[in-house]
Amino acid sequence: MSVQSAPVTSSTIVVAVDVGKTSATVSVTDGARRRLMGPVEFAMTRSGLRAATQRVLAVAPSCPQIRVGVEAAGHYHRPVVDYRWPPGWEVLELNPAHVAEQRRVMGRRRVKTDGIDLEAITELMLAGRGRVVGEREVLIGEVAAWAQHRSRRVATRTATKNQLLAQLDRAFPGLTLALPDVLGTKIGRLVAAEFADPARLATLGTTRLIRFAAARDVQLRRPLAERLVTAAKDALPTRDAVVARQVLASDMALLADLSSRIADAETELARLLPLSPFSTLTSVPGWGVVRVSNYAAALGDPTRWPGPRQIYRASGLSPMQYESAGKRRDGSISREGSVALRRALIDLGIGLWLTEPSAKSYAHGLKDRGKRGGVIACALAHRANRVAHALVRDHAVYDPARWT
């Protein structure tokens, strides 16, 4: 939700800032839309921003109201937003989608330059748009950082597993016939780490394999042990088995390190989430720490959202609608908006679908009506969005009777 700022008057000075990775551009305009300075480029450093501030003060030395508008640009705009501006200056953050739409209104949809972006930012500021930036919520930022860190490590672990399985097929052909899910079981990971050479497993034998596994806290039943030993004895030799085992050993070490880092991230999320505004969401069946943390990371500060409709629209899950001259044509979901938020809402919806009784009944009803899986997933995401917004807004625990 946008915090109300002071109204724009003829004495208002607008400082528009377009931020890049290593440099930024600034312009100064008064309330009558007269350009007082710029565009001027400066380096994204402390000295560069200080020099730009001094230039603004030189053209507006006695202005009672100076408003700084900064277009959100991933993490690049954070140093500008967090900069200690002179006392009395009001800093506002602008949605980049609003800036792009303003360029279109100005007839510059296909032209994007720093000067045009500054004009769009200035017009939005003079129209009273933007969100007042106060002290940034550090806790939500920490949750987002750890959730994103975990997601990246999970993606890397998945890619590593795929590569590891390819090397395992070269080092130990036929293992997946005896044990289809090699990396999904303790015994499978033990075999991949210790017995990538099938000759070694064949020599060990069934009984000694069971004892070897028990000594490492892995329960192994005799029928499975017999299948593994038989597969080892019957494995075909490959020319590149030696190098495959070397690469496999390196991949196993990397896999263990990734799993450890993922566990560390989940520990941090479990510590931070109860302190955040999203703490009550874990009371919903199927919503654990990871699911809720991904939602929190994608949503950000919940107070900036007026309601669940705006959140759902920002995720890109709202269906496209076209109506003109009395005729209406609806399409599929737009997929415009935040990919992270869209994935988080769908994941919350799946959590409801799998565990919450009323959501299960709702999903089965949609399926009986012939709805496809994607439609059902979007419907459950819409339901999850309303539940999550209400619980965060009221800071309440989940009540099944309310959402039946």
Domain identity same for 341 and 398: yes
Residues 6+ apart with CB under 8 A from 56: 13, 15, 26, 28, 37, 66
Positions of E strands within 55-183? 65-71, 90-94, 131-132
Domain identity same for 261 and 147: yes
Helix axes 373-394, 339-355, angle to 10 degrees: 100
The pLDDT mean for the chain works out to 86
4 within a domain of the structure (yes/no): no
Domain identity same for 293 and 367: yes
Neighbours of 242 (CB within 10 A): 11
Report yes or no: 367 and 376 within 8 Å, Cβ to Cβ: yes
Average pLDDT over every residue of 380-388: 94
**23-30 and 12-19 beta bridge pairing:** antiparallel
CATH number at residue 155: 1.10.287
Each residue's pLDDT tens digit, 23-44: 899 999 988 888 888 788 999 9
Element (H, E) at 292: helix 289-299
Residue 333 structural domain:
279-403
6 within a domain of the structure (yes/no): no
Report yes or no: 292 and 144 within 8 Å, Cβ to Cβ: no
- Which pLDDT value is given to residue 389? 95
Question: In which band, very low, low, confident or very high, does the pLDDT at 229 lie, cut at 50, 70 and 90?
Answer: very high
Q: Would you list the DSSP string of 358-394?
A: HHHHHHHHHHHTT--HHHHHHHHHHHHHHHHHHHHHH
CATH number at residue 120: 3.30.420.40
Domain identity same for 210 and 147: yes
Each residue's pLDDT tens digit, 133-182: 655 567 888 999 999 999 999 999 999 988 888 888 899 988 888 888 88
Each residue's pLDDT tens digit, 272-315: 999 999 999 999 999 999 999 999 999 988 888 889 999 998 88
Domain identity same for 87 and 113: yes
Each residue's pLDDT tens digit, 73-132: 777 888 888 888 888 888 888 888 888 888 888 776 666 777 888 989 988 888 888 877
Task: Give me the residues paired with residue 277 across strands.
Answer: none
Q: Would you list the DSSP string of 85-99?
A: PPTT-EEEEE-HHHH
Between these two residues, 382 and 135, which has the higher pLDDT value? Answer: 382
How many percent of the chain have pLDDT more than 70?
Answer: 90
Domain identity same for 28 and 60: yes
Each residue's pLDDT tens digit, 353-363: 999 999 999 99
Report yes or no: 66 and 13 within 8 Å, Cβ to Cβ: yes
77 within a domain of the structure (yes/no): yes
**pLDDT of 211 higher than 90:** yes
- Give the chain's domain count: 3
Report yes or no: 40 and 27 within 8 Å, Cβ to Cβ: yes
261 within a domain of the structure (yes/no): yes
Domain identity same for 46 and 153: no
